[in-house]
Chains A and B, each alone.
Chain A
Protein backbone atom coordinates (compact mmCIF):
# COMPACT_ATOMS: atom_id res chain seq x y z
CA UNK A 1 0.00 0.00 0.00
CA UNK A 2 0.92 3.67 0.10
CA UNK A 3 4.46 3.94 1.28
CA UNK A 4 5.28 7.30 2.80
CA UNK A 5 8.79 7.56 1.49
CA UNK A 6 8.33 6.10 -2.00
CA UNK A 7 7.50 8.31 -4.98
CA UNK A 8 3.85 8.83 -5.95
CA UNK A 9 4.56 7.68 -9.48
CA UNK A 10 7.38 5.46 -10.60
CA UNK A 11 7.70 4.44 -14.23
CA UNK A 12 10.16 1.61 -14.85
CA UNK A 13 11.39 0.66 -18.33
CA UNK A 14 8.06 1.47 -19.95
CA UNK A 15 7.80 0.45 -23.58
CA UNK A 16 4.76 1.21 -25.74
CA UNK A 17 4.59 0.09 -29.38
CA UNK A 18 2.17 0.99 -32.11
CA UNK A 19 1.40 -1.55 -34.82
CA UNK A 20 3.27 -4.80 -35.11
CA UNK A 21 5.64 -6.77 -37.31
CA UNK A 22 7.45 -4.75 -39.95
CA UNK A 23 5.52 -1.55 -39.30
CA UNK A 24 6.03 -1.40 -35.54
CA UNK A 25 6.84 2.00 -34.01
CA UNK A 26 8.42 2.21 -30.59
CA UNK A 27 6.50 5.31 -29.47
CA UNK A 28 7.88 5.01 -25.96
CA UNK A 29 11.11 3.10 -25.76
CA UNK A 30 12.32 1.92 -22.37
CA UNK A 31 11.79 5.01 -20.25
CA UNK A 32 12.05 5.37 -16.48
CA UNK A 33 11.25 8.39 -14.34
CA UNK A 34 9.42 9.26 -11.16
CA UNK A 35 7.23 11.96 -9.66
CA UNK A 36 7.24 12.52 -5.92
CA UNK A 37 4.37 13.78 -3.76
CA UNK A 38 3.75 17.48 -4.39
CA UNK A 39 6.32 17.62 -7.16
CA UNK A 40 5.75 19.24 -10.55
CA UNK A 41 7.55 17.49 -13.37
CA UNK A 42 7.59 18.83 -16.93
CA UNK A 43 7.90 16.39 -19.82
CA UNK A 44 9.32 18.36 -22.74
CA UNK A 45 9.71 17.23 -26.33
CA UNK A 46 8.54 17.87 -29.87
CA UNK A 47 5.45 16.40 -31.51
CA UNK A 48 5.96 12.67 -31.86
CA UNK A 49 8.55 12.37 -29.11
CA UNK A 50 6.24 10.14 -27.06
CA UNK A 51 5.30 12.52 -24.28
CA UNK A 52 1.53 12.26 -24.72
CA UNK A 53 1.75 8.50 -25.15
CA UNK A 54 3.55 8.37 -21.80
CA UNK A 55 0.84 10.48 -20.17
CA UNK A 56 -2.01 8.42 -21.56
CA UNK A 57 -0.29 5.16 -20.62
CA UNK A 58 -0.42 6.06 -16.92
CA UNK A 59 -4.06 4.96 -16.76
CA UNK A 60 -4.06 2.82 -19.93
CA UNK A 61 -6.08 5.36 -21.92
CA UNK A 62 -4.56 4.33 -25.26
CA UNK A 63 -6.70 2.11 -27.45
CA UNK A 64 -5.22 -1.39 -27.80
CA UNK A 65 -4.69 -2.15 -30.64
CA UNK A 66 -3.00 -0.22 -32.23
CA UNK A 67 -1.07 0.45 -29.00
CA UNK A 68 0.67 -2.35 -27.11
CA UNK A 69 2.09 -2.08 -23.63
CA UNK A 70 5.10 -4.18 -24.42
CA UNK A 71 7.10 -3.93 -21.27
CA UNK A 72 7.89 -2.19 -18.02
CA UNK A 73 5.65 -1.10 -15.17
CA UNK A 74 3.90 2.04 -13.97
CA UNK A 75 3.77 2.09 -10.19
CA UNK A 76 1.22 4.57 -8.87
CA UNK A 77 1.13 4.54 -5.09
CA UNK A 78 3.00 1.27 -5.32
CA UNK A 79 0.45 -0.44 -7.59
CA UNK A 80 1.18 -1.29 -11.20
CA UNK A 81 -1.54 0.35 -13.30
CA UNK A 82 -0.55 -1.75 -16.31
CA UNK A 83 -1.61 -4.87 -14.36
CA UNK A 84 -4.80 -3.53 -12.73
CA UNK A 85 -8.21 -4.85 -13.74
CA UNK A 86 -10.48 -2.46 -15.66
CA UNK A 87 -12.59 -2.16 -12.53
CA UNK A 88 -9.72 -1.14 -10.29
CA UNK A 89 -8.31 1.12 -12.96
CA UNK A 90 -11.56 3.07 -13.10
CA UNK A 91 -10.99 4.05 -9.47
CA UNK A 92 -7.66 5.53 -10.44
CA UNK A 93 -8.69 7.31 -13.63
CA UNK A 94 -10.07 10.76 -12.94
CA UNK A 95 -10.16 10.14 -9.20
CA UNK A 96 -6.48 9.81 -8.41
CA UNK A 97 -4.93 10.72 -11.75
CA UNK A 98 -6.88 13.50 -13.49
CA UNK A 99 -6.20 14.88 -16.95
CA UNK A 100 -6.56 18.20 -18.68
CA UNK A 101 -6.02 18.33 -22.42
CA UNK A 102 -4.90 20.77 -25.06
CA UNK A 103 -8.22 21.68 -26.63
CA UNK A 104 -10.64 22.79 -23.93
CA UNK A 105 -13.26 23.45 -26.61
CA UNK A 106 -13.38 19.84 -27.73
CA UNK A 107 -12.91 18.30 -24.29
CA UNK A 108 -16.13 19.76 -22.91
CA UNK A 109 -19.53 18.41 -23.91
CA UNK A 110 -21.30 21.21 -25.80
CA UNK A 111 -24.85 20.22 -24.84
CA UNK A 112 -24.47 20.20 -21.05
CA UNK A 113 -24.00 23.07 -18.60
CA UNK A 114 -20.70 23.35 -16.82
CA UNK A 115 -22.40 22.56 -13.52
CA UNK A 116 -23.72 19.30 -14.95
CA UNK A 117 -20.31 18.28 -16.26
CA UNK A 118 -18.39 19.04 -13.08
CA UNK A 119 -21.14 17.54 -10.90
CA UNK A 120 -21.01 14.34 -12.94
CA UNK A 121 -17.32 13.95 -12.12
CA UNK A 122 -17.90 14.67 -8.43
CA UNK A 123 -20.79 12.20 -8.13
CA UNK A 124 -18.87 9.48 -9.91
CA UNK A 125 -15.63 9.75 -8.01
CA UNK A 126 -16.72 11.13 -4.64
CA UNK A 127 -20.09 9.54 -3.81
CA UNK A 128 -19.68 10.61 -0.18
CA UNK A 129 -20.24 14.28 -1.12
CA UNK A 130 -23.79 15.32 -0.22
CA UNK A 131 -23.90 18.93 -1.38
CA UNK A 132 -22.64 18.51 -4.92
CA UNK A 133 -23.52 22.05 -6.01
CA UNK A 134 -21.43 23.56 -3.22
CA UNK A 135 -18.54 21.36 -4.30
CA UNK A 136 -18.88 22.52 -7.92
CA UNK A 137 -18.91 26.16 -6.81
CA UNK A 138 -15.86 25.56 -4.65
CA UNK A 139 -13.98 24.04 -7.62
CA UNK A 140 -14.91 26.93 -9.92
CA UNK A 141 -13.83 29.38 -7.26
CA UNK A 142 -10.49 27.60 -6.90
CA UNK A 143 -9.71 28.11 -10.60
CA UNK A 144 -10.41 31.82 -10.38
CA UNK A 145 -13.83 32.04 -12.01
CA UNK A 146 -15.57 35.06 -10.54
CA UNK A 147 -19.14 34.75 -9.23
CA UNK A 148 -19.09 30.97 -9.73
CA UNK A 149 -22.69 30.53 -8.53
CA UNK A 150 -23.86 32.64 -11.46
CA UNK A 151 -21.86 30.68 -14.03
CA UNK A 152 -23.28 27.27 -13.18
CA UNK A 153 -25.88 27.36 -15.96
CA UNK A 154 -23.41 28.42 -18.66
CA UNK A 155 -22.76 26.22 -21.66
CA UNK A 156 -19.20 25.79 -22.97
CA UNK A 157 -19.84 27.96 -26.05
CA UNK A 158 -20.57 30.91 -23.78
CA UNK A 159 -17.04 30.80 -22.40
CA UNK A 160 -13.76 31.93 -23.95
CA UNK A 161 -10.92 29.43 -24.52
CA UNK A 162 -9.16 30.48 -21.32
CA UNK A 163 -12.37 30.14 -19.29
CA UNK A 164 -13.07 26.73 -20.84
CA UNK A 165 -9.63 25.56 -19.76
CA UNK A 166 -10.36 26.82 -16.25
CA UNK A 167 -13.54 24.75 -16.24
CA UNK A 168 -11.54 21.70 -17.35
CA UNK A 169 -9.10 22.28 -14.51
CA UNK A 170 -12.01 22.75 -12.06
CA UNK A 171 -13.45 19.44 -13.21
CA UNK A 172 -10.11 17.71 -12.67
CA UNK A 173 -9.64 19.31 -9.25
CA UNK A 174 -13.17 18.55 -8.07
CA UNK A 175 -12.13 14.90 -7.72
CA UNK A 176 -9.16 15.88 -5.55
CA UNK A 177 -6.64 13.86 -7.56
CA UNK A 178 -3.16 13.05 -6.29
CA UNK A 179 -1.67 13.63 -9.72
CA UNK A 180 -2.84 16.13 -12.32
CA UNK A 181 -1.64 15.37 -15.84
CA UNK A 182 -1.74 18.57 -17.91
CA UNK A 183 -1.17 17.65 -21.56
CA UNK A 184 -0.23 20.87 -23.38
CA UNK A 185 -2.83 22.84 -21.42
CA UNK A 186 -1.99 26.20 -23.01
CA UNK A 187 -0.94 25.35 -26.57
CA UNK A 188 -4.30 26.40 -28.03
CA UNK A 189 -4.40 29.65 -26.06
CA UNK A 190 -3.05 33.20 -26.47
CA UNK A 191 0.17 34.03 -24.63
CA UNK A 192 -1.64 36.33 -22.21
CA UNK A 193 -4.14 33.59 -21.36
CA UNK A 194 -1.29 31.06 -21.25
CA UNK A 195 0.32 33.11 -18.52
CA UNK A 196 -2.93 33.21 -16.54
CA UNK A 197 -3.36 29.44 -16.77
CA UNK A 198 0.26 28.74 -15.81
CA UNK A 199 -0.07 31.13 -12.85
CA UNK A 200 -3.25 29.31 -11.88
CA UNK A 201 -1.57 25.89 -11.99
CA UNK A 202 1.26 27.16 -9.84
CA UNK A 203 -1.23 28.63 -7.41
CA UNK A 204 -3.20 25.38 -7.21
CA UNK A 205 -0.04 23.39 -6.68
CA UNK A 206 0.73 25.51 -3.61
CA UNK A 207 -2.87 25.39 -2.31
CA UNK A 208 -3.53 21.68 -2.78
CA UNK A 209 -0.09 20.13 -2.63
CA UNK A 210 -0.86 17.73 -5.46
CA UNK A 211 1.68 16.50 -7.98
CA UNK A 212 1.56 17.81 -11.54
CA UNK A 213 2.88 16.21 -14.70
CA UNK A 214 3.08 19.03 -17.23
CA UNK A 215 3.52 18.09 -20.86
CA UNK A 216 4.73 20.72 -23.30
CA UNK A 217 6.87 21.40 -26.36
CA UNK A 218 7.79 24.84 -25.09
CA UNK A 219 10.72 25.20 -22.72
CA UNK A 220 9.64 28.82 -22.26
CA UNK A 221 6.66 28.07 -20.05
CA UNK A 222 8.13 25.68 -17.52
CA UNK A 223 10.80 27.78 -15.81
CA UNK A 224 8.40 29.22 -13.24
CA UNK A 225 6.47 26.09 -12.42
CA UNK A 226 8.37 22.82 -12.82
CA UNK A 227 10.62 21.39 -10.12
CA UNK A 228 12.10 18.90 -12.52
CA UNK A 229 12.31 18.46 -16.29
CA UNK A 230 12.29 15.24 -18.27
CA UNK A 231 13.29 15.73 -21.92
CA UNK A 232 12.03 13.19 -24.48
CA UNK A 233 13.43 12.63 -27.94
CA UNK A 234 12.10 9.93 -30.26
CA UNK A 235 10.55 7.84 -27.51
CA UNK A 236 13.49 7.99 -25.17
CA UNK A 237 14.40 10.16 -22.20
CA UNK A 238 17.58 12.04 -23.04
CA UNK A 239 17.78 14.24 -19.96
CA UNK A 240 16.20 14.38 -16.50
CA UNK A 241 17.12 16.92 -13.84
CA UNK A 242 16.14 19.93 -11.72
CA UNK A 243 14.63 22.71 -13.88
CA UNK A 244 17.17 25.42 -13.10
CA UNK A 245 20.04 23.03 -13.68
CA UNK A 246 18.69 21.79 -17.02
CA UNK A 247 17.94 25.32 -18.25
CA UNK A 248 21.33 26.68 -17.31
CA UNK A 249 23.48 23.68 -18.16
CA UNK A 250 21.67 21.43 -20.62
CA UNK A 251 23.72 18.25 -21.05
CA UNK A 252 22.12 16.77 -24.14
CA UNK A 253 22.38 18.63 -27.49
CA UNK A 254 18.66 18.09 -28.05
CA UNK A 255 17.81 19.84 -24.79
CA UNK A 256 20.02 22.75 -25.79
CA UNK A 257 18.36 22.92 -29.21
CA UNK A 258 14.89 22.93 -27.65
CA UNK A 259 15.85 25.79 -25.33
CA UNK A 260 17.53 27.75 -28.14
CA UNK A 261 14.58 27.65 -30.53
CA UNK A 262 12.32 29.63 -28.17
CA UNK A 263 12.32 33.24 -29.42
CA UNK A 264 13.61 35.59 -26.76
CA UNK A 265 12.49 39.18 -26.43
CA UNK A 266 15.17 41.71 -27.29
CA UNK A 267 17.64 38.99 -28.20
CA UNK A 268 18.43 40.62 -31.54
CA UNK A 269 19.15 37.29 -33.19
CA UNK A 270 19.26 37.46 -36.94
CA UNK A 271 17.76 33.97 -37.18
CA UNK A 272 15.96 31.69 -34.81
CA UNK A 273 17.78 28.46 -34.20
CA UNK A 274 15.93 25.55 -35.70
CA UNK A 275 16.58 21.99 -34.58
CA UNK A 276 18.86 19.95 -36.79
CA UNK A 277 17.71 16.41 -36.07
CA UNK A 278 20.39 14.74 -38.14
CA UNK A 279 23.07 16.55 -36.20
CA UNK A 280 21.52 15.60 -32.86
CA UNK A 281 21.15 12.00 -33.94
CA UNK A 282 24.81 11.94 -34.94
CA UNK A 283 26.09 13.50 -31.73
CA UNK A 284 23.80 11.54 -29.41
Chain B
Protein backbone atom coordinates (compact mmCIF):
# COMPACT_ATOMS: atom_id res chain seq x y z
CA UNK B 1 0.00 0.00 0.00
CA UNK B 2 1.19 3.51 -0.65
CA UNK B 3 2.31 5.16 2.55
CA UNK B 4 0.74 8.40 3.70
CA UNK B 5 3.91 10.21 2.67
CA UNK B 6 3.51 9.28 -1.01
CA UNK B 7 2.32 12.39 -2.82
CA UNK B 8 -1.20 11.99 -4.17
CA UNK B 9 -0.06 12.92 -7.65
CA UNK B 10 3.40 12.66 -9.19
CA UNK B 11 3.88 13.86 -12.75
CA UNK B 12 7.22 13.16 -14.41
CA UNK B 13 8.35 14.42 -17.81
CA UNK B 14 4.77 14.62 -19.06
CA UNK B 15 4.47 15.33 -22.76
CA UNK B 16 1.33 15.95 -24.75
CA UNK B 17 1.91 16.61 -28.43
CA UNK B 18 -0.80 17.24 -31.00
CA UNK B 19 -0.13 16.33 -34.63
CA UNK B 20 -0.33 18.94 -37.39
CA UNK B 21 -1.58 17.30 -40.54
CA UNK B 22 -1.79 18.56 -44.09
CA UNK B 23 -3.00 17.52 -47.51
CA UNK B 24 -5.58 15.10 -48.73
CA UNK B 25 -4.08 12.14 -46.90
CA UNK B 26 -3.72 14.12 -43.68
CA UNK B 27 0.00 13.39 -43.54
CA UNK B 28 1.66 14.39 -40.34
CA UNK B 29 3.81 17.41 -41.06
CA UNK B 30 4.68 18.49 -37.55
CA UNK B 31 3.41 18.70 -34.02
CA UNK B 32 2.35 21.20 -31.41
CA UNK B 33 4.11 20.56 -28.13
CA UNK B 34 1.25 21.64 -25.90
CA UNK B 35 2.88 20.13 -22.82
CA UNK B 36 6.60 19.62 -23.15
CA UNK B 37 8.44 17.69 -20.47
CA UNK B 38 6.61 18.85 -17.37
CA UNK B 39 7.20 17.45 -13.86
CA UNK B 40 5.51 18.30 -10.56
CA UNK B 41 3.95 16.67 -7.50
CA UNK B 42 0.83 17.44 -5.52
CA UNK B 43 0.64 16.50 -1.85
CA UNK B 44 -2.58 15.20 -0.38
CA UNK B 45 -4.92 17.91 0.94
CA UNK B 46 -3.06 20.78 -0.69
CA UNK B 47 -3.80 23.12 -3.57
CA UNK B 48 -1.35 23.55 -6.38
CA UNK B 49 -2.00 26.54 -8.63
CA UNK B 50 -1.15 26.37 -12.32
CA UNK B 51 -0.96 29.77 -13.95
CA UNK B 52 -0.19 30.93 -17.47
CA UNK B 53 -1.66 32.69 -20.48
CA UNK B 54 -4.05 31.22 -23.02
CA UNK B 55 -2.19 28.66 -25.07
CA UNK B 56 0.47 27.97 -22.46
CA UNK B 57 -0.69 24.37 -22.05
CA UNK B 58 -2.22 24.56 -18.58
CA UNK B 59 -5.63 23.21 -19.58
CA UNK B 60 -3.98 20.39 -21.54
CA UNK B 61 -2.19 19.27 -18.35
CA UNK B 62 -5.51 19.21 -16.49
CA UNK B 63 -7.12 17.25 -19.30
CA UNK B 64 -4.26 14.76 -19.45
CA UNK B 65 -4.64 14.07 -15.71
CA UNK B 66 -8.27 13.05 -16.11
CA UNK B 67 -7.58 11.42 -19.46
CA UNK B 68 -9.61 13.70 -21.67
CA UNK B 69 -6.48 13.78 -23.83
CA UNK B 70 -3.90 11.01 -24.04
CA UNK B 71 -0.36 11.78 -22.96
CA UNK B 72 2.40 11.35 -25.55
CA UNK B 73 5.04 10.46 -22.99
CA UNK B 74 6.11 10.66 -19.36
CA UNK B 75 4.42 9.19 -16.30
CA UNK B 76 1.48 10.19 -14.12
CA UNK B 77 1.42 8.42 -10.76
CA UNK B 78 -1.73 8.60 -8.66
CA UNK B 79 -1.22 7.45 -5.11
CA UNK B 80 2.02 5.81 -6.20
CA UNK B 81 0.46 3.84 -9.05
CA UNK B 82 1.33 4.56 -12.68
CA UNK B 83 -1.91 5.50 -14.46
CA UNK B 84 -0.40 7.10 -17.58
CA UNK B 85 -1.32 4.52 -20.18
CA UNK B 86 -4.04 2.48 -18.48
CA UNK B 87 -6.77 1.12 -20.70
CA UNK B 88 -10.13 2.89 -20.35
CA UNK B 89 -11.62 0.00 -18.38
CA UNK B 90 -8.67 -0.02 -15.99
CA UNK B 91 -8.83 3.76 -15.69
CA UNK B 92 -12.51 3.82 -14.73
CA UNK B 93 -11.96 3.51 -10.95
CA UNK B 94 -9.82 6.67 -11.19
CA UNK B 95 -12.64 8.58 -12.86
CA UNK B 96 -14.38 8.36 -9.52
CA UNK B 97 -11.36 9.63 -7.61
CA UNK B 98 -10.37 12.40 -10.01
CA UNK B 99 -12.97 14.98 -11.01
CA UNK B 100 -12.96 18.24 -12.95
CA UNK B 101 -14.74 21.59 -12.73
CA UNK B 102 -14.85 23.50 -15.99
CA UNK B 103 -14.42 27.16 -16.80
CA UNK B 104 -17.64 27.95 -18.55
CA UNK B 105 -20.69 27.32 -16.37
CA UNK B 106 -22.96 28.08 -19.35
CA UNK B 107 -21.70 25.35 -21.67
CA UNK B 108 -20.73 22.65 -19.20
CA UNK B 109 -24.28 21.82 -18.06
CA UNK B 110 -26.67 20.05 -20.43
CA UNK B 111 -29.53 22.54 -20.94
CA UNK B 112 -32.13 19.80 -21.45
CA UNK B 113 -31.52 17.96 -18.19
CA UNK B 114 -32.74 18.93 -14.75
CA UNK B 115 -30.19 19.62 -12.06
CA UNK B 116 -31.12 16.31 -10.42
CA UNK B 117 -30.41 14.40 -13.63
CA UNK B 118 -27.13 16.27 -14.22
CA UNK B 119 -25.78 15.43 -10.78
CA UNK B 120 -27.22 11.93 -10.44
CA UNK B 121 -25.86 10.68 -13.78
CA UNK B 122 -22.49 10.17 -12.15
CA UNK B 123 -24.15 8.40 -9.19
CA UNK B 124 -25.89 5.96 -11.54
CA UNK B 125 -22.55 4.98 -13.05
CA UNK B 126 -20.36 4.85 -9.95
CA UNK B 127 -22.94 3.81 -7.34
CA UNK B 128 -25.24 1.45 -9.27
CA UNK B 129 -26.72 0.06 -6.06
CA UNK B 130 -28.32 3.40 -5.16
CA UNK B 131 -32.08 3.63 -5.62
CA UNK B 132 -33.96 6.68 -6.84
CA UNK B 133 -34.87 7.85 -3.35
CA UNK B 134 -31.28 7.50 -2.16
CA UNK B 135 -30.04 9.42 -5.17
CA UNK B 136 -32.52 12.22 -4.57
CA UNK B 137 -31.41 12.42 -0.96
CA UNK B 138 -27.76 12.48 -2.02
CA UNK B 139 -28.36 15.24 -4.62
CA UNK B 140 -30.24 17.29 -2.01
CA UNK B 141 -27.32 16.89 0.37
CA UNK B 142 -24.82 17.92 -2.34
CA UNK B 143 -26.84 21.01 -3.26
CA UNK B 144 -26.84 21.99 0.40
CA UNK B 145 -23.07 21.59 0.53
CA UNK B 146 -22.56 24.07 -2.32
CA UNK B 147 -25.01 26.61 -0.93
CA UNK B 148 -28.08 25.80 -3.05
CA UNK B 149 -31.48 24.50 -1.94
CA UNK B 150 -32.84 20.95 -2.36
CA UNK B 151 -35.87 22.28 -4.26
CA UNK B 152 -33.48 23.53 -6.99
CA UNK B 153 -32.94 19.96 -8.18
CA UNK B 154 -36.01 19.88 -10.41
CA UNK B 155 -35.09 23.03 -12.29
CA UNK B 156 -33.10 23.47 -15.50
CA UNK B 157 -29.71 25.17 -15.93
CA UNK B 158 -31.12 28.27 -17.65
CA UNK B 159 -32.93 29.20 -14.45
CA UNK B 160 -29.64 29.80 -12.66
CA UNK B 161 -27.06 32.60 -12.71
CA UNK B 162 -23.42 31.99 -13.68
CA UNK B 163 -22.30 31.67 -10.07
CA UNK B 164 -25.12 29.25 -9.23
CA UNK B 165 -24.28 27.14 -12.28
CA UNK B 166 -20.69 26.94 -11.17
CA UNK B 167 -21.99 25.70 -7.79
CA UNK B 168 -23.95 23.01 -9.64
CA UNK B 169 -20.76 22.05 -11.51
CA UNK B 170 -19.00 21.70 -8.17
CA UNK B 171 -21.85 19.59 -6.74
CA UNK B 172 -21.61 17.31 -9.78
CA UNK B 173 -17.86 16.90 -9.23
CA UNK B 174 -18.39 16.13 -5.53
CA UNK B 175 -21.14 13.55 -6.20
CA UNK B 176 -18.77 10.61 -6.60
CA UNK B 177 -16.74 11.48 -3.50
CA UNK B 178 -13.52 12.36 -5.32
CA UNK B 179 -10.15 12.89 -3.65
CA UNK B 180 -8.65 15.10 -6.30
CA UNK B 181 -10.32 17.85 -8.35
CA UNK B 182 -8.90 19.63 -11.38
CA UNK B 183 -10.37 23.14 -11.22
CA UNK B 184 -9.93 24.45 -14.78
CA UNK B 185 -10.39 28.22 -14.57
CA UNK B 186 -13.50 27.81 -12.40
CA UNK B 187 -13.85 31.54 -11.73
CA UNK B 188 -12.55 33.19 -14.91
CA UNK B 189 -16.01 33.64 -16.42
CA UNK B 190 -17.55 35.09 -13.25
CA UNK B 191 -17.96 38.58 -11.81
CA UNK B 192 -15.31 39.42 -9.21
CA UNK B 193 -17.91 39.42 -6.47
CA UNK B 194 -19.13 35.95 -7.45
CA UNK B 195 -15.55 34.81 -7.92
CA UNK B 196 -14.95 35.53 -4.24
CA UNK B 197 -17.94 33.35 -3.25
CA UNK B 198 -16.80 30.40 -5.37
CA UNK B 199 -13.19 30.59 -4.20
CA UNK B 200 -14.39 30.64 -0.58
CA UNK B 201 -16.68 27.67 -1.26
CA UNK B 202 -13.80 25.66 -2.76
CA UNK B 203 -11.67 26.41 0.30
CA UNK B 204 -14.46 25.43 2.70
CA UNK B 205 -15.04 22.15 0.86
CA UNK B 206 -11.33 21.38 0.90
CA UNK B 207 -11.25 21.82 4.66
CA UNK B 208 -14.40 19.77 5.22
CA UNK B 209 -13.65 16.91 2.84
CA UNK B 210 -9.86 16.91 2.72
CA UNK B 211 -9.80 17.49 -1.03
CA UNK B 212 -6.71 18.03 -3.15
CA UNK B 213 -6.89 20.63 -5.94
CA UNK B 214 -5.04 21.51 -9.09
CA UNK B 215 -6.26 25.07 -9.59
CA UNK B 216 -5.77 26.37 -13.13
CA UNK B 217 -6.12 30.10 -13.86
CA UNK B 218 -4.61 32.98 -15.77
CA UNK B 219 -5.01 35.42 -12.89
CA UNK B 220 -2.06 35.21 -10.53
CA UNK B 221 -3.90 37.10 -7.77
CA UNK B 222 -6.53 34.37 -7.44
CA UNK B 223 -3.96 31.59 -7.75
CA UNK B 224 -1.72 33.13 -5.12
CA UNK B 225 -4.68 33.43 -2.79
CA UNK B 226 -5.92 29.84 -2.99
CA UNK B 227 -2.70 27.89 -3.57
CA UNK B 228 -0.04 26.42 -1.31
CA UNK B 229 2.32 25.92 -4.21
CA UNK B 230 2.32 27.64 -7.61
CA UNK B 231 3.49 26.45 -11.04
CA UNK B 232 3.99 29.06 -13.75
CA UNK B 233 3.64 27.78 -17.26
CA UNK B 234 4.72 29.31 -20.56
CA UNK B 235 4.73 27.69 -24.00
CA UNK B 236 4.28 24.15 -22.76
CA UNK B 237 6.96 24.30 -20.07
CA UNK B 238 6.97 25.08 -16.37
CA UNK B 239 9.17 28.13 -16.03
CA UNK B 240 8.85 28.60 -12.29
CA UNK B 241 7.69 26.46 -9.36
CA UNK B 242 7.63 27.83 -5.83
CA UNK B 243 5.43 28.42 -2.79
CA UNK B 244 2.73 31.05 -3.22
CA UNK B 245 4.63 33.47 -0.97
CA UNK B 246 7.90 33.07 -2.84
CA UNK B 247 6.25 33.61 -6.23
CA UNK B 248 4.84 36.90 -5.05
CA UNK B 249 7.78 38.13 -2.98
CA UNK B 250 10.64 36.93 -5.09
CA UNK B 251 9.69 35.99 -8.66
CA UNK B 252 12.63 34.55 -10.59
CA UNK B 253 11.43 34.14 -14.14
CA UNK B 254 10.76 37.22 -16.32
CA UNK B 255 7.49 35.66 -17.43
CA UNK B 256 6.32 35.36 -13.82
CA UNK B 257 7.19 39.02 -13.33
CA UNK B 258 5.10 39.89 -16.36
CA UNK B 259 2.14 37.94 -14.97
CA UNK B 260 2.51 39.68 -11.61
CA UNK B 261 2.69 43.03 -13.34
CA UNK B 262 -0.57 42.34 -15.18
CA UNK B 263 -2.56 41.85 -11.98
CA UNK B 264 -4.72 44.93 -11.42
CA UNK B 265 -3.79 46.88 -8.35
CA UNK B 266 -6.15 49.04 -6.39
Is B259 a contact of A275 with CB atoms below 8 Å?
no
Is B264 a contact of A262 with CB atoms below 8 Å?
yes
Is B258 a contact of A192 with CB atoms below 8 Å?
yes
Chain B residues contacting A257 (CB-CB under 8 Å) are 193
Instruction: With A47-B191, A217-B191 as known contacts, state yes or no: A192 contacts B262, CB within 8 Å.
Output: yes
Min CB distance, B232 to chain A, in Å? 12
Instruction: With A218-B192, A274-B193 as known contacts, state yes or no: A266 contacts B199, CB within 8 Å.
Output: no
Determine whether B225 belongs to the interface, using a CB cutoff of 8 Å to chain A: yes
Comparing A14-22, A25-33, A171-179, A219-227, the segment that makes contact with chain B is A219-227
Q: How many residues of A contact B (CB 8 A)?
A: 33
Is A219 a contact of B220 with CB atoms below 8 Å?
no
Is B192 a contact of A274 with CB atoms below 8 Å?
no
Is B192 a contact of A265 with CB atoms below 8 Å?
no
Determine whether A264 belongs to the interface, using a CB cutoff of 8 Å to chain B: yes
Chain B residues contacting A46 (CB-CB under 8 Å) are 191, 193-194
Determine whether B266 belongs to the interface, using a CB cutoff of 8 Å to chain A: yes
Q: How far is the CA of A217 from the CA of B263 in the complex (A)?
A: 15
Chain A residues contacting B261 (CB-CB under 8 Å) are 195
Contact with B along A204-246 (1 / 0, CB 8 A): 0000000000000111110100000000000000000000000
Instruction: With A190-B53, A264-B221 as known contacts, state yes or no: A272 contacts B262, CB within 8 Å.
Output: no
Chain B residues 176-224 with CB under 8 Å of chain A are 191-197, 199-200, 203, 218-222, 224
Is A221 a contact of B264 with CB atoms below 8 Å?
yes
Chain B residues 148-197 with CB under 8 Å of chain A are 161-162, 191-197
Contact with B along A246-283 (1 / 0, CB 8 A): 01000000000111011111110101111100000000
Chain B residues contacting A258 (CB-CB under 8 Å) are 192-193
**CB closest residue in chain A, given B225:** A263
Q: How far is the CA of A262 from the CA of B248 in the complex (A)?
A: 17
Chain B residues contacting A13 (CB-CB under 8 Å) are none
Q: How far is the CA of A273 from the CA of B196 in the complex (A)?
A: 6
Determine whether B54 belongs to the interface, using a CB cutoff of 8 Å to chain A: yes
Q: List 10 A-B contacts (CB under 8 A).
A: A46-B193, A47-B194, A217-B191, A220-B264, A247-B266, A258-B193, A263-B219, A263-B222, A272-B200, A275-B193
Task: Show the binding face of B for A, using Cβ within 8 Å.
Answer: 53-54, 161-162, 191-197, 199-200, 203, 218-222, 224-225, 248-249, 258-266
Additional pairs, 16, CB under 8 Å, beyond known A195-B264, A263-B221: A47-B161, A191-B263, A192-B218, A193-B53, A217-B191, A219-B266, A223-B264, A262-B221, A263-B219, A263-B222, A263-B224, A264-B221, A264-B266, A265-B224, A267-B225, A275-B193
